[in-house]
Amino acid sequence: MIAQFPSFYPDELVYSLLARYYVHSGYVRYVFAAEDLFQSKTVRPDIEFVNQYTPAALQMITREMPMEKVIENHTMFPYYGRFLQKERRNKAFEALVQMQGNYYNLLPIPKRKDDNKRYLRFCPLCAENDRSQYGEAYWHRKHQFQGVKICPLHRCYLINSNLLISGKTSPTLLSAEVAIPQNINSYALSDNEIECKVADYIARVFQLEVDLQGNVTIGQFLNSRLENTPYRSIRGEQRNITLFHTNFTEYYKRLSDNWFTECWQIQKVLTDDRVNCYEICLLSLFLNVPAADLVEMTLPEKSQQQMFDEQIYRLHKQGLKYPAIAERLNASYDLVKAIGEGNYKKHCKVSQNPLQSGKKASDWKQIDRDTLPLVKDAIRKLYGDGITRPKKISMFAVEKVLNLPMGRISNYFPLCKAEIEKYHESQEQYWAREVVWAVNHIIRNEDVMNWKHIRNLTNMRKRDLLACIPYLYQFTDEDTIQLIQAMV
């Protein structure tokens, strides 16, 4: 029987909460506690995430907040899962909420190299403060960032405990109060400015809310932040990755034990082939991206390429000749003239899409007209037919369906762009469509109608459902709206 279960401390791991309960509960042996807490008493308590808990234990863990908030605020999911692409991010989050074991296959947790072992770490100054404020020390999430060696708050070098983070250790619950010695007098503070700046930045990113609905990938976002910098060509078509790598490594040259130093590693982040939080934060900090911008990542309405071309058209319309425009824009005369006359890359064909027909780049208007029926069909598929799950209509979504390069529609296809913009909707309106689909799906399949079932179908949080209620009338009848409101 579970009694006198403690409450979470700020930034505390679920493992730490269970360890404190075990210490204070008076169990004679660990196995007796395991029988009350875990569905399998032989399971190894997960240090960074969660296990499958007994109904009684789950009730205690979630008595002050839903499981979704437990995952966000008391596991390492915001560190490992934040920058995954949407589908994989939501699958990992839902696996944790449902306490399923496959989240380890979904989260990009770095593999240990050279047999380096990881231990739960602590900051002696944080432990001292915890004991003063709460009467006991506890395990903090912010001390477990892979790649960060100091406490973001005190700039104190973190100390390894005796608790190994490994799937091969014997099951145990070791509280920080027991593991961390009293009155630690021997510790070191960092005077490395870049080391402190990195720790602070990663901590600020980690503490921000995770956007589970965002479609923009980190590669797209960081590439957009390279626009109009020395690391992109005058028109923005090419990256100067060599210069970027040189300046990046110079900026972090005093960051000790930094594994993120190779040009190919940077390339892979920019192409969405690496989604390590530490590496992404190093790139974002170098590019002066505010931490808050990494929550809901957005792309500029117009690309550097589009804005450059528009400048040429505008200046030429104002009466400037191409030599004067080239001088003003610090661009070559040949480039400016080719763009102004619509002959830029005239021999290039539309590639990597189902529209390859040998048309020249100067035939964009005709390609736009030819593409419009395909765009309408893609919109119809994305919007859904009531049976398939609806998706939000956007330039990116349509380009993905048609296998078009990112920005092709917004930059070159005005007819297609106008058609897509007809379906513009707020996030709340899209959620309303999705909820209505989920309710109809449940009714059609004669399943149990409850909030949990809707959440499983849509990956929405309850606050999202509340936000979309005012828009439900646009997509369904009054009886269905009342049915949905009854579940809130």
Classify residue 127 by burial, with Cβ atoms within 10 Å: 0-12, 13-18, 19+.
buried
Q: Which of 243, 275, 294 delimits the end of a domain?
A: 294
CA atoms within 13 A on the CB side of 342: 6
Q: What is the residue type of 319?
A: G
Q: 349 by DSSP, 3-state: which?
A: strand
Structural domain includes residue 76 = yes
CB 179 within 8 A of CB 163: yes
Structural domain includes residue 92 = yes
Same domain (yes/no): 286, 324: no
Burial string for 340-379 (b: 16+ CB within 10 Å, else e) reads beeebeeeeebeeeebeeeeebebbeebbebbeebbeebb
Same domain (yes/no): 173, 224: no
Structural domain includes residue 184 = yes
Structural domain includes residue 89 = yes
369 is in which domain, residue-wise?
A: 304-421
Q: Which residue has the tokens 């609806």?
A: 390
Q: What is the residue type of 124?
A: P
Token pair, residue 174, equals 């070791």
**Per-residue tens of pLDDT for the chain, all 488 residues:** 687 899 999 999 999 999 999 999 989 899 999 999 999 999 999 999 999 999 999 999 999 999 999 999 999 999 999 999 999 999 999 999 999 877 888 898 887 655 678 999 999 999 999 999 999 999 999 999 999 999 999 999 999 999 999 877 889 999 999 999 998 888 999 999 999 999 999 999 999 999 998 999 999 999 999 999 999 888 888 888 999 999 999 999 999 999 999 999 999 999 998 999 999 999 999 999 999 999 889 999 888 888 999 999 999 999 999 899 888 888 888 888 888 888 765 433 333 444 443 434 447 788 888 889 889 988 988 988 778 889 989 888 898 888 887 778 888 889 999 999 998 888 899 999 999 999 988 888 877 888 888 888 888 888 888 889 999 988 888 888 888 888 87
* pLDDT value at residue 278: 97
Between CA 250 and CA 257 the distance in angstroms is 15
* pLDDT value at residue 357: 38
* pLDDT value at residue 402: 87
Extended beta strands in 264-381, E state: none
Same domain (yes/no): 385, 333: yes
CB 398 within 8 A of CB 353: no
Same domain (yes/no): 280, 311: no
Between CA 393 and CA 115 the distance in angstroms is 47
Cα distances from 200 to residues 167, 239, 292, 293, in angstroms, run: 30, 29, 13, 16
Token pair, residue 262, equals 């190779």
Structural domain includes residue 206 = no
Q: What is the residue type of 271?
A: T
Token pair, residue 352, equals 């990597």
* pLDDT value at residue 345: 57
Q: Which residue has the tokens 């579970």?
A: 2
Same domain (yes/no): 414, 431: no
* pLDDT value at residue 355: 43
Q: Which long-range contacts (CB under 8 A, 24 or more apart) does 92-95 make?
A: 93/68, 93/210, 93/212, 93/459, 94/456, 94/459
Which H or E run includes 161? strand 159-164
DSSP annotation string for 34-80: HHHHBSSTTSPPPSSS---B-HHHHHHHTSSS-HHHHHHHHSSHHHH
Same domain (yes/no): 251, 143: no
Same domain (yes/no): 312, 396: yes
Same domain (yes/no): 380, 436: no
* Dihedral angle over CA of 172, 176, 177, 182, nearest 10: 130
Between CA 457 and CA 449 the distance in angstroms is 12
Q: Which residue has the tokens 């032989």?
A: 42
Q: Which residue has the tokens 């004669």?
A: 446
CB atoms within 10 A of CB 232: 18
Same domain (yes/no): 277, 174: no
DSSP annotation string for 385-404: -SSSPP----HHHHHHHTTP
Token pair, residue 176, equals 């920080």
Cα distances from 162 to residues 117, 121, 122, in angstroms, run: 11, 9, 11
Q: 428 by DSSP, 3-state: which?
A: helix
Same domain (yes/no): 335, 401: yes
Q: CA angle at residue 321 from 320 to 324, to 5 degrees?
A: 85
Q: Specify the number of domains making up the chain.
A: 5
Structural domain includes residue 412 = yes
Burial string for 400-433 (b: 16+ CB within 10 Å, else e) reads ebbebebbbbbbbbeebbebbeeeeeeeebbbbb
Structural domain includes residue 203 = no
Same domain (yes/no): 382, 441: no
Structural domain includes residue 207 = no
- Please give, one letter per residue, the 3-state secondary structure of 96-135: HHCCCCCHHHHCCCCCCCCCCCCEEEECHHHHHHHHHHHC
Same domain (yes/no): 67, 149: no
CB 43 within 8 A of CB 52: yes
Between CA 265 and CA 460 the distance in angstroms is 34
- Please give, one letter per residue, the 3-state secondary structure of 434-469: HHHHHHHHHHHCCCCCCHHHHHHHHCCCHHHHHHHH
